[in-house]
Amino acid sequence: MTETTETESRKLLGRLRTAMAKDNAGQARLDEITHLIADSMGTEVCSIYLFRDPETLELCATEGLKPEAVHQTRMKMGEGLVGRVARTGTIVNEADAPSAKGFRYMPETGEEIYSSFLGVPIRRLGETLGVLVVQSKQARQFSSDELYALEVVAMVLAEMTELGAFTADNAAMTARHKQAVLIRGGTGQEGATEGHVWLHEPRVVVTNPIADDPHKELERLREAVETLRVGVDQMLAGASGGDTEQMQVLEAYRMFANSKGWMRRMEEDISRGLSAEAAVEKEQSTARARLSQVNDAYLRDRLHDLDDLSNRLLRILTGQGTETGADMPADPILIARNIGPAELLDYGRSLKGIVLEEGSVGSHAAIVARALAIPLIINANRITTEALNGDHIMLDGDQGVVHLRPDDTVVTAFRDKIAMQAQAQERYASIRDEPATTQCGTTISLQMNAGLMADLPSLESSGAEGVGLFRTELQFLVRNQMPKRSELSALYARVLDAANGKRVVFRTLDIGSDKVLPYMKPQEEPNPALGWRAIRVGLDKPGVMRMQLQALIRAANGRPLSIMFPFVAQYEEYKAAKAEMDKAMERERILGHEVPGDLEIGAMLETPSLAFAPDRFYDEVDFLSIGGNDLKQFFFAADRENERVRRRYDTLNVSFLTFLEQIVRRCEASQTSLSFCGEDAGRPIEAACFAAMGFRMLSMRPASIGPVKHMLRRLNLVELRAVIEEARAQGHQSVRPAVMAYLRNNS
Ligand code: PEP
Ligand code: MG
């Protein structure tokens, strides 16, 4: 970098700032800027292209090209050299542009006479807002200094665009963050909801991208970085030694905070005329752009660390904390890139919905959102950049769609949908205290699934007869360290108190596979779903299981207790787990604790092998519960977490129903109580078929009890069974079409 270009770029930014300070708005301002850049860079042409919609770029201002082309010339993402810059987010520097690959001639612009082309993305925080181009007649490659200068200018333009500096009279640039946006993501938790945006981490607003005095800016940056370093060191000193993951993150923070390369790049940005904030953002933007290109999980994590660190630095520089002074709306929809389970629990049920830019179906946040029954959309690309605090937002959790700042038609259609759901809820409330007795006189016991203390009030409101599945792992997942026995015991006691005599089936710790405890050494396994999980961990490392069994016995304190072991694949595993329970009972008795007089020990049937276990198993086990989510994935060999295959096989596939029927028969023969507690139990059509196949107990999310009960009460199981038999006899792959036709004609 030469002293001249340094001053050139600084001079250019200085002129830019003067232009910005003038009272000219919108187009006039843009025109002046293009003139200024072309003049400073000694090029005949300077043009600014901005996105008109997510797919189309529009020429918004130019110096040198034909003025009549402004707002007329448009190109699709990826089209021509400008489109290429926008699509790839990289710089295009061509000495002989017309013969470059992908060049597209736009006759209305008159650009054919210009040979060299330099295009840089106008990018803010990894998001491309447009393209800045300079062109000249002389066929030459632009130097790296020129390129750098243009990048710095583009950075400032991005900040200005973000601040709406060009929007006054420019249709193509109707203020960003005012337009309606539709984002498609994935379903984390179903449900339709409406509310206003609450950003988990509000964006820092940079209002001064250009430096007045580079020396002062350098000083500000150095001071801020020092504060940052001290902060990271303090966090490291305060971090619990055992939490290796947290330590790793903090170590990475420290590495970046002390990184000479990072610092040097920011200092260079400042010496070229950017303010300290803009320099931090420029580096952050580059890191974000890289993020979208790397697949390596470790590298992505580190880039995220750098991103977090940049945010901290920006907060220090701008004095904008997470506390922005904004009030949380009454109907908050939480927007975050990602969120930990504990943070989500802090918000609790105050949230009406959650949208995550990342996340996965099996993430801890998703587990908590499901437990809290809050609609959740995951993988909502760009939501954190698009949404502003207080924006109106509607979520369709069933379809995984986010409507941000929706227009009136969307609002009306969406509210109709919510109203229909509310009407249905009223219908369900009216039968809450009625039994799920079918038209042919069979009563099905409907139980609810739970995992948090916060779920327990639903026992009353949903009309569930008991808790058919209490997933105990949530208590372990949401903490940073292993919970203590006394804590667990107190919690389980509160659960039993809240259940008020209704049966609660506690499932012992089901970890491994997608559920990884933050404080346990992660296992590198080629196929975690088929790996060291649930009862396998419990039996190999019995310490935690013993502690949990003790906590349960103490919590019951003489009251009836139901415990089931997850993922039992063979009789021996059940026997070994049961032996642990017997030992725990004995120990507690010796210690003088009151033990439950009425104790039942069951197993979850989640692997096909257990369906074929010896008769002795069926005779011994007190009850069985089918974990349909796992059972189905193993039956069809289709990963429940893999979007490509998880919906590929129908639960009402004849093979699966026949398999379930065999299990029902075995349980009938051995008089073993049987229930179904996977997600399918909460789907009315599936639940109806299960009942027709002989299931008499179903456990589901509380919100599903109403719809399932409503269905069962209208149903004749004998007739439905005949429909299923007929479809099976006819060789159909799935009984669903026949069942649907029957239900349509008989309701
Ligand atoms: C199941 O597998 O169906 C089940 C209920 O357990 P989880 O979803 O917690 O694995
Ligand atoms: Mg399971």
Do domains 181-200+331-421 and 214-318 share one topology? The answer is no
For residue 353, the CA-to-ligand 2 centroid distance in Å is 26
CA distance 123 to 659: 56
Residue 627 beta carbon below 6 angstroms from any ligand 1 atom: yes
Q: Is the CB of 471 under 6 A from ligand 1?
A: yes
Q: Locate the ligand 1 atom nearest the alpha carbon of residue 469 and give its number.
A: 5
pLDDT band at 324; cut points 50, 70, 90 = low
pLDDT at 214: 87
Mean of pLDDT values over 577-592: 97
**63 has a pLDDT exceeding 50:** yes
The CATH homologous superfamily to which domain 181-200+331-421 belongs is: Phosphohistidine domain (3.50.30.10)
- Rama region for 690: left / alpha / beta (φ>0; ψ in -120 to 50; rest): alpha
Ligand 1 in reach of 629 Cβ (< 6 A) = yes
| Torsion on CA atoms 481, 485, 487, 492, rounded to nearest 10 | 120
Q: Find out whether the beta carbon of 678 lies less than 6 Å from any atom of ligand 1.
A: yes
Q: Is residue 459 scored above 80 in pLDDT?
A: yes
Asked whether the whole model's pTM tops 0.75, one would answer no
The CA distance from 411 to 399, in Å, is: 16
In this prediction, residue 118 has a pLDDT band, given cuts at 50, 70 and 90, of very high
Residue 170 has pLDDT above 70, yes or no: no
CATH topology for 214-318 is Enzyme I; Chain A, domain 2 (1.10.274)
Q: Copy the structure tokens of residue 323.
A: 């506390």
Domain 431-745 has CATH 3.20.20.60: yes
| DSSP per-residue string spanning 114-141 | --EEEEEEEEETTEEEEEEEEEESS--P
Ligand 2 center–CA 628 separation, angstroms: 7
- d(CA 126, CA 291) in angstroms, rounded, equals 9
215 annotated active-site: no
Between β-strands 45-53 and 127-136, what pairing exists: parallel, antiparallel or unpaired? antiparallel
Residues 311, 709: Cα–Cα separation, whole Å: 49
Q: What is the position in ligand 1's atom list of the atom closest to the CA of 513?
A: 10
Domain ranges across the chain: 3-176, 181-200+331-421, 214-318, 431-745
**Which of these is catalytic: 60, 304, 364, 403?**
364
Per the annotation, the verdict on 440 as an active-site residue is no
Atom of ligand 1 nearest to the CA of 471: 9
Say if ligand 1 is within 6 A of residue 680 CB.
no
Topology of domain 3-176, CATH: Beta-Lactamase (3.30.450)
Q: Which residue's alpha carbon is at the smallest distance from atom 6 of ligand 1?
A: 627
473-493 pLDDT, tens per residue?
A: 888 877 778 899 999 999 999
Torsion-angle region of 671 (φ positive above 0: left; ψ -120 to 50: alpha; else: beta): left
In short, whether 628's Cβ falls inside 6 Å of ligand 1 is yes
512 lines ligand 1 (CB under 6 A): no
Count of helices and strands (H, E) across the chain: 27, 23
Q: How far apart (Å, rounded) are the C-alpha atoms in residues 50 and 60?
A: 7
CB contact at 8 A, 204 and 382: no
CA of 100 to the centre of ligand 2 (A): 56
Q: Which of 667, 677, 689, 710 is catalytic?
A: 677
Q: Nearest ligand, CA of residue 675?
A: 1
CA distance 280 to 269: 9
| pLDDT number for residue 4 | 45
Torsion angle, CA of 11/16/17/23, rounded to 10 degrees? 150
Which region holds residue 558: left if phi is over 0, alpha if psi is between -120 and 50, else beta?
left
How much is the pLDDT for 2? 43
If one residue of 467, 471, 676 were mutated to test the ligand 1 pocket, choosing by the most ligand atoms within 8 A of its CB, it would be: 471
- Across 181-197, average pLDDT: 90
Q: Is the pLDDT of residue 577 over 70?
A: yes
- Residue 519: Cβ within 10 Å count: 16
